[in-house]
Structure 1
Amino acid sequence: MTAPLDSRGASWSELLTADYSTATTTLCLGVALFAFNGFLVSTSLPTAVGEIGGLELISWAFTLYLVLSIIGGASAALLKARFGARMALVASALVFLAGTLIAAFASSMTEVLIGRALQGLGEGVIAAICYALIPELFPSRLVAKVFGAEAVVWALAAFGGPLVSGMLTEHVSWRAAFLVNVPLGLIFIALVFRIVPRFSGETDRLTVPFMRLVAIGTGIMFVALASIMQAVSLEVLFVLGAAIVLASVVVIDRRSATPLFPSDAFALNSTVGIGLWIVLLMPVAQSSTSVYLVLTLQNLWGYGPTKAGAFSATFAIAWSLCAILVANIGDPRHRSWMIRLGPTLLVSGLAILVLGFSLDAAFVVMAGQILIGTGFGVSWGFLSQTVMESARDGERDRASALLPTLQSAGYAIGAALAGLAANVAGYPLATNPDDLRSATMTIFAVSTIIGIGAMIAGYALPLRKKTLLGVRQEAQMP
């Protein structure tokens, strides 16, 4: 009789044993750098602008970070292959720290933008390589628990980041909020030296696909510009331009001798291809809540910033709790159903948001928000693991590193599409509760439709036999 996977040693405490504790800490710290940095900056930057000026450039502090982080993430697998994970992580962490120091001691908004760009470039590589290291540093039975631990880090960042940044900004300085990243970065570098082995491969033939990286950056820049356009026609133009550029990059990359992506990226007949569609479409659908939920709660129901923020944070809480709960699932069939359940819950949650606003019922809206977080929590770890383990021979690093990069791209694309839907629905011009409610319902209805694409992909996802067989064999190991 085969024992359940979790009963064969795959307990949470194993992440804290001598074999895995340092690796767990390192990867979670890599996630923390990314997660906390976003909340630290978003809370402290308005105060910084008040001191050094540059209000008209404040959105670019986030745009440049996003664009450079996606470029860094796209190049991460190549950097890991050429220089090894240790050198790539240390170099990227140093770039991140350099950007942090430049931004923290900036005397103008231009210097802040330079620092944010360097932060984005470094953190993009760090996040992607940390993902790629998960299947190298942990056995398959622990991978879902690693993703659960990282989900907890995100939840802590969602609550602790704004609190820490707010206290430092208010009682010390906005510069102190930026400098929180320095000790975290130095600890991360020390841990990398401890757990990541030296690279013994060849480093003398580095071919950097500059044109494709520039094209990726251009496509994401089009997306970012679309999200701030006031004219609907310009938004549509930029979104279409981004789609054409990014699709062209994928097509050209498949024929390249130095590919950035897996050879079957976005193919409709492979586990990796369809899995990457889910990884992209779920954040695209969910991002509308990140952009418009808090704003609507404040303008429609008169919530204060703290109450609206706590309301929105139920998404992160649900994600983290569910990720922890389902990490104990070892049966491959049950895991496959969790992957399919995730987008289904996402679509249901978005539809419930529409219903909640139509009924003017806050508890219904919160239920929808919790359901969306639950959808991500039950599926994201298993989905990521499936993509990693289903990659073709020699392509696991590219598949793994693409996951956080694609997630970031999904949020950027989703924000642009939500902005387009908001402008078409008249959200910026809504002057009374009925108009605001109607526009909000339209935004989330569009997101629901996008989510259906992720749900269809989930049920179309083929699970490769060799992946399931490998999990079963590990479950039978003593």
Structure 2
Amino acid sequence: MHTQDSSWSELLRGKNAPRSIALSGGIALYATNTYIATTILPSVVAEIGGLALYAWSTTLYVVASIIGSALTSKLLQRTGPRLAYTLATLIFMVGVLICALAPNMPVMLVGRLIQGLGGGMLLALCYSMIQLVFEERLWPRAMALVSGMWGVATLVGPAVGGVFAEMDAWRFAFGAMVPISLAYMVLTHRALPPRDATASTPTRLPVPQLVLLAAAVLAVCAGSVSALPSWNLLGIAVCAVLVYALIRHESTATLRLLPRDALKFDAPLCALYATTCLLVIGMSSEIFMPYFLQHLHGQSPLVAGYMAALMAAGWTVSEILSSGWSGRGAQRAILAGPLFIVAGLVLLAITTPVESLGEWARLAPICLGLFLVGFGIGLGWPHLLTRILQVASEQDKDTAAASITTLQLFAMALGAALAGVISNVAGINDATGNAGIANAALWLFALFTLAPVLAWVMARRATRVKVAAAQMTPS
């Protein structure tokens, strides 16, 4: 194991301190909202209906986040960091208020869409500014700090969502995000400069690629609403066609969504992007965990929310643990991560479908499985993201930074949509009892193990690429 020539204290003192707080705060806001929504969603559908649209809440939120993240580069160039953060936070707050007042699921989904647009901007702003405000040797720790806010969200999100859900006041869980968002706006206004001195001329957006990306995810999600397998398969087939069209267009486009060579199978960027996407897809089964825990294991919204958030807790623990590694240590972290995820998903497939009265002897293996999945993602995550920035050419570094968020969100949305397909086909909507829910849990976790298996294959390629290794900072 090797440690890079940097320390955590460098991020938290002097001029780096307010920057670190501003950047990590945006992720914390987005992630906390994510866990609030995940925790209260069973209570939401119990009051306003829409179980068949359960996965849509996450999918639309993340698809809108993709669009928001893509708009970030243009917004940042035109307005500068201070105003960009203000606009993104305002859009986010509008979505929060719509969700808090929603009388039915369609209106709720509109709110989630607007929420996601602002949240996606915040996500991309935080990741994109790392390379602008920190030295390269601090990137892995900065990535870990920013991404580690998901761990903070595991403490705050389920608590806020769970408490309000148990009080039958889930609307106030969304409302609580308003003063937090206002406080964050004040923070970023004071901590960030009004204009980036190195800002370049605003660029056009790769609109066709963004449309194809969003349409691919929505195709899967639309198919998941039907209980007929033929419609589910049609949605997946349409998604595959749209992704193929996206790859073809991106390969020849002048205005690109991804850095050059990102879609060439033998290029290092392709292996790195594929690994990150597959890891995120493997984690997407998390959206149904609170529902499974409440209906199969008799847990309250608060406890179910905290248990589901163990994935993010594992992510944070392993990311902090490995962020200072370099050389062989970083390579081993990237390779070992998918294996932990496979172990966690297999454990969840075995233990989650078996109904219980909430005995901790039954719940402990579920908690371990959830933690292992998150631990596996976080172990190599900062090194994968750092390598993407290092491998990208100088003219593609801005595109590479923005694409990290775009592809991460695409993988989250696609994973959520696929989770909805599997759960609906397996019988989660069966009103006769819990057998359909148990069957959905079994098939969901069993099939999702394929993602980390493929991620391990791609991770082997990513760690063997000499150009990537050569550009790693020596210990």
TM-score after normalising by structure 1 = 0.83
What is the SS of the residue equivalent to 1:264?
A: coil
Q: Please give the alpha-carbon distance, in whole angstroms, between the structure 1 residues aligned to 2:103 and 2:346.
A: 46
Tell me which residue corresponds to 2:231.
234
Q: How does 1:152-231 map to 2 (within 5 A)?
A: 152-165=148-161, 170=167, 174=172, 176-191=175-190, 193-194=192-193, 197-198=196-197, 200-203=199-202, 206-231=203-228
> Quick check: 1:145–1:327 contact (8 Å CA) kept in 2?
yes
Per-residue deviation, residues 202-239 of structure 1 (Å, max 9, x unmatched): 34xx5344333333222222233233332221111112
Q: 1:344 corresponds to which letter in structure 2?
A: L
1:332 to 327, 343, 361: 327
State yes or no: 1:28 paired with 2:16. Answer: no
Describe the SS at the equivalent of 1:395. Answer: helix
Aligned partner of 2:242 among 233, 242, 245: 245
Instruction: Return the alpha-carbon distance in structure 1 between the equivalents of residues 51 and 419 of structure 2.
Output: 22
Structure 1 residue 300: Cα displacement: 3.4
* 1:368 paired residue number: 369
Can you give the 5+ residue segments of structure 2 that lack an aligned partner in the other structure? 356-361
Amino acid at match of 1:287: S
Q: TM-score, normalised on structure 2?
A: 0.84
What is the Cα deviation at residue 99 of structure 1?
4.0
Alignment counterpart, residue 274 of structure 2, candidates 270, 274, 277: 277
Bigger mean CA deviation after superposition, 183-192 or 260-269: 183-192
How far apart in 2 are the matches of 1:306 and 1:339? 33
Paired amino acid for 2:68? G
- After superposition, the Cα gap between the structure-2 partners of 1:54 and 1:12, relative to the gap in structure 1 and judged at 3 Å, is same
The one-letter code of the counterpart of 2:20 is: T
Q: Does 1:135 align with 2:136?
A: no
Moved more, 33-42 or 272-281: 33-42
Quote how far apart the aligned CAs of 1:349 are.
Answer: 1.8
The range that moved more, 291-300 or 267-276, is: 291-300
Identify if the C-alpha distance between structure 1 residues 129 and 273 changes in structure 2 by more than 3 Å, giving closer, same or farther.
farther
Q: Say how many residue pairs are matched.
A: 465
Q: Do the aligned partners of residues 366 and 237 (structure 1) sit closer, same or farther apart at CA in structure 2, a change above 3 Å counting?
A: same
> Which 10-residue stretch deviates more, 301-310 or 15-24?
301-310
Give the 3 Å change call, closer, same or farther, for CA 185–222 of structure 1 in structure 2.
Answer: farther
1:92 alignment partner, one of 80, 88, 91: 88
| Residue equivalent to 1:445 | 446
Alignment-mate amino acid for residue 88 of structure 2: S
Deviation string, structure 1 residues 13-40 (Cα, Å, up to 9, x no partner): 2211113112211110110221122234
Q: Give the C-alpha shift of residue 276 in structure 1.
A: 0.9
In the alignment, which of 11, 17, 26 is matched to residue 15 of structure 1? 11
Change (3 A) 1:191 1:382: farther
Separation in 2, partners of 1:49, 1:442: 23
* Partners of 2:104 and 2:349 in 1: CA distance: 43
What is the identity, as a one-letter code, of the residue corresponding to 2:250? Answer: D
Question: Separation in 1 of the partners of 2:194 and 2:468?
Answer: 27
CA contact under 8 A between 1:85 and 1:199: conserved in structure 2? no
RMSD: 3.6
Going from structure 1 to structure 2, the CA distance change for 1:54 and 1:241 (only over 3 Å counts) comes to: same
Relative to structure 1, the CA distance from residue 193 to residue 450 in structure 2 (aligned partners, 3 Å threshold; closer, same or farther) is closer
- CA 1:167 to 1:432, structure 2 compared with 1: closer, same or farther past 3 Å? closer
Distance 2:443 2:239 in 1: 23
Cα offset, 1:341, TM superposition = 0.9
> 1:54-74, CA deviations, whole angstroms, 9 ceiling, x for partnerless residues?
869975654443222112223
Choose the corresponding residue for 2:255, options 258, 273, 285.
258
Q: Residue 352 in 1 paired to residue 347 in 2?
A: yes
Alpha-carbon distance in structure 1 between the residues aligned to 2:206 and 2:66: 15
Q: 1:93–1:189: 8 Å Cα contact kept in structure 2?
A: no
Deviation larger for 37-46 or 127-136: 37-46
| Equivalent residue letter for 2:223 | A
| Preserved CA contact (<8 Å) 1:266 1:274 | no
Partner SS, residue 319 of structure 1 = helix
1:101 shift after superposition: 5.2
Matched residue of 2:394: which SS? coil
Kindly provide the CA deviation profile for residues 409-466 of structure 1, in whole angstroms up to 9, marking residues without a partner as x. Answer: 2222223323333344445449677776555333222111232111111112145545
Q: Is the 8 A contact 1:250 1:265 kept in 2?
A: no
Give the 3 Å change call, closer, same or farther, for CA 191–256 of structure 1 in structure 2: farther
- Letter matched to residue 187 of structure 1: V
* Cα pair distance change 1:383/1:195, threshold 3 Å: farther
